[in-house]
Amino acid sequence: MKSSDGRTRSSVQIFVVVGLCCFFYILGAWQRSGFGKGDSIAVAITKSGAECDVVSNLNFETHHGGEAGVGDDSKPKTIEPCLPRYTDYTPCQDQKRAMTFPRENMNYRERHCPPEEEKLHCLIPAPKGYVTPFPWPKSRDYVPYANAPYKALTVEKAIQNWIQYEDNVFRFPGGGTQFPQGADKYIDQLASVIPFENGTVRTALDTGCGVASWGAYLWSRNVVAMSFAPRDSHEAQVQFALERGVPAVIGVLGTIKMPYASRSFDMAHCSRCLIPWGANDGMYLKEVDRVLRPGGYWILSGPPINWRTNYKAWERTKEDLEEEQRKIEDVAKLLCWEKKYEKGEIAIWQKRVNAHSCQSQQDDSRATVCKASEVDNVWYVTATYHMRLTLVT
């Protein structure tokens, strides 16, 4: 009995399927015959004399003869990889070429692009064994050794907790020359003066950044830091920063202006960055003043701050360090920066909000105010022009 009912249901299903197939076949044939809705509308439009927006000179013929991939024009251009010795090559930062330029004002550390005939036209190879960097936040603390295979810093900066080598990865404990206890504690000290929590400080510039631990740890304070350092005997330290996920560029304060518009940063920082801030009539501090917004902060950590205590450790004379700090203080006064803090080896200045109220700028011939059309003229502006553009109003 059950078998008979099953056969009956199967027959009904087959009948329904066949019926639907026949229905849709007839419907399709009816539409193709010209009596479908769309065609009937078109016929009605034609009969009414309405004009269609059809270009009369359309050409539907093919315009490319021959087979695909045949002919010189269709061949993709391939770029060959450079030789392995160019793994560390950085355009316009060739180390051998740099040593031929003057050392005055760090000229040899700046970008010097080769002439057209000496430029490389190949793909720079990655280090052997290069792997995808760790995702943030793990990348803040760890970088695969193969991605930046340089161990020199692990030896030279071992006691300062810059970087350590462990099981084919580099570990960054967050230390630095001026903050061996870690960047977090160092930033906590700065936060006693600088208002990180209320959003006043959102952008920072880290000069001579090393492996950029200061910038890496600022992320947790909702501050984005642009770090830069020159290429030196430790290779390009900023490569460690980039592998960690921290914004960084190869750069130096020298004979040309920094490639940043005026008032770009809420804070600028130097942690033993070896920049002669008091030299050349304070040219470098004036450049910092240009990129700092009104009310922004400048932090100097290390020499010559607290020179009376540290002159022996720094292997410099009291007179030399005292003179260096005097020059820095003089330029800061010229710029109308207010010193907000000095403790240990850290000093913090704040840029005046209203530069027009600064009497020293009006009385001192060294304080030349930028013209409105010049303040953002920063790309490869040379020393003569740079020395004249000192203050931004």
**pLDDT the model gives residue 235:** 65
Q: Residue 134 carries which DSSP code?
A: P
Measured distance CA(168)–CA(365) in Å, rounded: 57
- State the 10-residue block means of pLDDT for the chain, 393 residues long: 56 72 70 50 43 53 56 74 89 86 90 90 92 96 94 83 91 90 94 93 95 95 94 76 94 89 95 91 92 96 94 93 96 94 96 75 58 63 45 38
Would you say residue 196 lies in a domain?
A: yes
The number of domains in the chain is 1
For residue 125, count CB atoms less than 10 angstroms from its CB and return exposed for 0-12, middle for 13-18, buried for 19 or more.
middle
Beta strands in the chain (DSSP E): 142-144, 164-166, 169-171, 203-207, 224-229, 248-250, 265-271, 292-301, 338-343, 346-350
For position 22, what pLDDT does the model report?
A: 76
In the chain, count H helices and then E strands. Answer: 13, 10
Are residues 243 and 147 in contact, defined by beta-carbon separation less than 8 angstroms?
yes
| Predicted local distance difference test score (pLDDT) of residue 384 | 42
CA 77 to chain centre: 30
Tell me, yes or no, whether 323 lies in a domain.
yes
Q: Which residue has the tokens 């704040």?
A: 350
> Is residue 84 in some structural domain?
no
Q: Is residue 80 part of a domain?
A: no
pLDDT of residue 42: 40
| Domain residue limits at 209 | 182-388
Phi, psi of 329 (to 5 degrees): -65, -40
Q: What pLDDT, on the 0 to 100 scale, is given for residue 376?
A: 66
Task: Please indicate, yes or no, if residue 100 is contained in any of the structural domains.
Answer: no
Does residue 14 belong to any structural domain of this protein?
A: no
Residues in Cβ contact with 391 at an 8 Å cutoff, skipping those fewer than 6 apart: 286, 289, 290, 335, 355, 361, 367, 368, 369, 370
Residue 216 domain-assigned (yes or no): yes
The reported pLDDT for the residue numbered 381 is 73
Give the per-residue pLDDT at 19: 76
Q: Is residue 112 part of a domain?
A: no
Q: Look up the CATH number of the domain holding residue 214.
A: 3.40.50.150
Residue 31 tokens, joined:
């539409």
Number of residues that make up the chain: 393
The pLDDT score that the predictor gives to residue 51 is 47
**Three-state secondary structure call for residue 159:** helix
| DSSP reduced 3-state for 233 | coil
Give the per-residue pLDDT at 89. Answer: 86
